[in-house]
């Protein structure tokens, strides 16, 4: 590659780092330890849509226009999700994990990075069908306030329900998914009985502390966006949220194996990335 291209590439990388730094200093959202390749793609994507001259101009816009920051926040969030995504995971949850939770008089669950809530309602349905919902308390958090609002609403495009229903059936669903929502024009609205024991809140895994002590942490497809150092920091947060015997579920391409906190857990269903916190004496 010639010197010119090398220069352009280098300058672009510097400007992107400065933009990320500016967003952190001004708004407290810390993307400094997210995957660099991912952040760069998303920011350049926004840049191409923005019609601005260079990234430096984006920095100024981000500092002075909160609407623009909201866009960048959305770009970097990647909120793609599904109900009963990875059906096998949910089947294992039903068959292997629910029997463990049954032993508790009161079950606390934390969905960290829950996006628009599909995953949380999937859990609520599972708990209902296993007769555990009434003694469960679910905390569902994400750092993106816009997406948390959507999660709270629990309204999804009707045309997604076919895919979700297929997942639900593969996951061993006991009823029909349509038992759990009502249809309004072209959207599906999850029933209030599912929402009753769910608390939705904003929480940033990078900058906030422990949310609550819980029996089960579900954090799927969030850590893949973080570098190793940040992954480690967030795992520590989960260590501190789970008592001995508490359960941690990660996404299907995420692993605890390389974390410095690996020794705090035993692999319970490693294939499905389900780990159990060791009992410390």
Partner 1 sequence: MKPYKAVVIGSSAGGLNALKVLFGGLDEHFSLPVIIVQHISPNAENYLIHILNEFSKLKVKEADEKEMPGTGMAYLAPPNYHLLIEPDCTFTLTIGERVNYARPSIDVLFETAAEAYKDQLIGIILTGANSDGSKGLKKIRDFGGLTLVQDPETAEVDSMPRAAIQADAADRILSLEEIAVLLNGISSGGVD
| Of residues 203, 230, 210, the one with CA closest to residue 31 | 230
- Interface positions, 237-256, toward ligand SAM (CB under 6 A): 251
CA distances from 98 to 31, 93, 272 (A): 35, 6, 15
115 binds, among ligand SAM, partner 1, none (CB under 5 to 8 A by kind): ligand SAM
Q: Read off the tokens for 198.
A: 């769910």
Torsion 270-76-78-216 (CA) sign: positive
- 164 is a contact residue toward partner 1 (CB under 8 A): no
Burial (Cβ within 10 Å: 0-12, 13-18, ≥19) of residue 162: exposed
- 18 is a contact residue toward partner 1 (CB under 8 A): no
Are 16 and 39 contacting, i.e. CB atoms less than 8 angstroms apart? yes
- Interface positions, 201-240, toward partner 1 (CB under 8 A): 221, 224-225, 228
Q: Degrees (nearest 5) of the Cα angle 237, 69, 26? A: 65
Residue of the chain from 197, 204, 252, 255 that contacts ligand SAM (CB under 6 A): 204
264 binds, among partner 1, ligand SAM, none (CB under 5 to 8 A by kind): none
Residue of the chain from 21, 50, 255, 262 that contacts partner 1 (CB under 8 A): 255
Residue of the chain from 42, 220, 273, 277 that contacts ligand SAM (CB under 6 A): 220
* Closest approach of partner 1 to the CB of residue 252, in Å: 9
Size of the site for partner 1 (CB under 8 A): 22
Residue of the chain from 63, 78, 98, 100 that contacts ligand SAM (CB under 6 A): 78
């Amino acid at each position: 590659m010639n010197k010119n291209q090398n220069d352009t590439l280098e300058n672009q990388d510097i400007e992107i780092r400065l933009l990320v730094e500016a967003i952190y200093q001004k708004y407290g959202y810390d993307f400094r330890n997210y995957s660099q390749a991912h952040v760069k793609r998303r920011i350049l994507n926004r840049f191409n849509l923005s019609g601005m001259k260079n990234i430096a101009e984006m920095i100024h816009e981000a500092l002075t226009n909160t609407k623009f920051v909201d866009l960048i926040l959305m770009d970097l969030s990647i909120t793609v999700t599904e109900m009963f995504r990875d059906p096998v995971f949910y089947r294992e949850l039903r068959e292997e994990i629910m029997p463990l939770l049954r032993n508790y008089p009161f079950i606390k669950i934390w969905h960290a990075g829950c996006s628009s809530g599909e995953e949380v309602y999937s859990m609520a349905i599972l708990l209902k069908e296993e007769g555990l919902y009434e003694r469960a308390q679910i905390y569902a958090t994400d750092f993106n306030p816009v997406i948390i609002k959507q999660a709270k609403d629990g309204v999804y495009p009707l045309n997604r329900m076919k895919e979700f229903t297929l997942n639900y059936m593969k996951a061993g669903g006991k009823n029909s998914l349509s038992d759990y929502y009502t249809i309004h024009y072209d959207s599906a609205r999850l029933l209030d009985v599912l929402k009753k024991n769910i608390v939705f809140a904003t929480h940033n895994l990078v900058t906030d502390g422990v949310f609550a002590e819980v029996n089960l942490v579900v954090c799927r497809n969030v850590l893949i966006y973080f570098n190793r150092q940040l992954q480690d920091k967030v795992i520590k947060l989960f260590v501190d949220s789970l008592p001995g015997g508490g359960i941690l579920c990660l996404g299907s391409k995420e692993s605890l194996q390389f974390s410095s906190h690996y020794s705090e857990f035993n692999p319970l269903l490693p294939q499905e990335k389900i780990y159990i916190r060791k009992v410390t004496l």
